[in-house]
Structure 1
Amino acid sequence: MQAPLREQDPRRLGGYRLTGRLGRGGMGTVFLGEDASGRQVAVKVINPELADDEAFHERFRREVTAARQVRRFCTAAVLDARLDGEPLYVVTEYVNGPPLDRAVRDGGPLAGGDLEGLAVNIATALGAIHGAGIVHRDLKPSNVLLSPTGPRVIDFGIARALDATDGPTRTGQFIGTPAYVAPELMHGEEITPAADVFSWGCVVAYAGTGRAPFGGATVPETMRRVMSAPPVLDGLDPAVRDLVRRTLAKDPAERPTVKQLVQALTGEEARPAPETHPTRADPVSGTRPVATAPAPPRPAGGRPAGGRPAGGGPGISRRRVGVIIVAVAAVVAGGAAIGLLNADGEDSGGTKPPSAASSRGSGGKKSESTAPFRDDFGDRPPKTRDKLFSDRFDDEKSGWNNSTYAAWDMAYRGGKYEVQVLPTTNRTTADAPVDDVPDAQLVEAEVKPDGGTGEAGLFCHRHGDLGYAFLLRSDGRARIVKMESGEVKDMATRTATGVRPGRLNRVQAACAADGDTVRLGMWVNGDPVAKAAASDAYDDTTTSGLLVMRPEDDAGWPKAVFDDFSLSSI
Structure 2
Amino acid sequence: MEALRLLGGRYRLEDQIGTGGMSVVWRATDEVLRRPVAVKVLAGRLATDAGARLRIQAEARSAARLAHPHVCGVFDFGESTDESGRAEPFVVMELLRGPTLSQRIADGPLPPLEAMRVCAEVASGVAAAHDAGLVHRDIKPSNVILTPGGAKVVDFGIAAAAGPLEDLDQDDRMIGTPAYLAPERLTGDQVVPASDVYALGLLVHYVLVGRLPWAAETTTQMLRAHTYSEPDPLPPVAGVPAEIADLCGRCLAKDPADRPTAAEVADALARAAGVVLRPAAAPREVAPAGDVAADNEPTVEPGGQRRRQRTLAVAVGAATVVATVLVAALIAGPGGGSPGALAEQRPPDAETTARAGDPATAATVPGGSDGAQSGGGGPVPGGQPGPVPATGDVSGAPAGSQTPTTTPAPEITTAEPEPTPSVMRSPDPPRTVTLTSDGGSVVARCQRDGEVKALTWKAAEGYQVVRKEPGPALVARIWFAGPTVVRMKIRCVDGSPTWVNSPD
Q: TM-score, normalised by structure 2?
A: 0.49
In our comparison, the structure showing a higher alpha carbon Rg is 1
> Which structure has the highest strand share of the two?
1
Q: TM-score, normalised by structure 1?
A: 0.43
